[in-house]
Amino acid sequence: MQKMKVIRYFAYTIELLVLFIVQETPGLLPNLFGARPVLLIPAVLSISLFENEAAGMSFGLLAGLLIDFGGGGVLGFHALLLCAACYAIGLFAADLIQTNFLTAMLTAVIVTGALVVLHWVFFYLLFNYEYAGYAFTAHYIPRFCYTIAIMPVTYFFNRALAIQIREKEE
């Protein structure tokens, strides 16, 4: 039913907006070694595991734009990368891989790791930042670990949401 798909997409959009607000509210989440998690990355990765590639790409674009707005960096950097990653995840989840907790965690580690390393390369290494190694070890690695630690919560939440709404479609 088309109505249930609209409800599901609306719920995903509300989830991303709430996570963005939580992520950007100072003092709401504790710092881990001076880093804060990027809540939108595991959320959008888990959404794209349960949706088709077009929906995954759309939510990846939305989450990437929100990360770019909140981070104050170059507009479109995360949007482009998450858009492509979520498209590929949606494609793979439909045809090649089983959607389970292990694949969700593997996906999160690979995609988040690639995003973190690319961000560090483009914003520190290519600008010949004097302390690029320190920035990577003191800022990027804790952010990566903290973001990965959120993946189980978002995976099981979105899994329950997708199963619950799909059951009502039938």
Looking at per-residue pLDDT, the higher value among 46 and 129 belongs to 46
Percent of the chain past pLDDT 90, that is, above it, reads 69
Range of the domain at 49: 2-169
Kindly report, residue by residue over 88-116, the tens digit of the pLDDT: 999 999 888 888 999 999 999 999 999 99
Residue 107, pLDDT score: 96
Residue 134, pLDDT score: 92
Percent of the chain past pLDDT 70, that is, above it, reads 98
Indicate whether 30 pLDDT > 70. Answer: yes
C-alpha pair distances (Å), 170 with each of 2, 5, 53, 165, 167: 12, 12, 22, 9, 6
Residue 92, pLDDT score: 92
What is the spatial distance between Cα 36 and Cα 17, in angstroms, rounded to a whole number? 17
Reported confidence tier of residue 34, pLDDT bands at 50, 70, 90: confident
CATH code at 37? 1.10.1760
Residue 170, pLDDT score: 61
Reported confidence tier of residue 42, pLDDT bands at 50, 70, 90: very high
Q: How many domains does the chain have?
A: 1
- φ, ψ (nearest 5 deg) of residue 26: -65, 135
What is the spatial distance between Cα 54 and Cα 59, in angstroms, rounded to a whole number? 9
- φ, ψ (nearest 5 deg) of residue 73: -90, -155
Rounded to two decimals, the pTM is: 0.92
Looking at per-residue pLDDT, the higher value among 145 and 34 belongs to 145
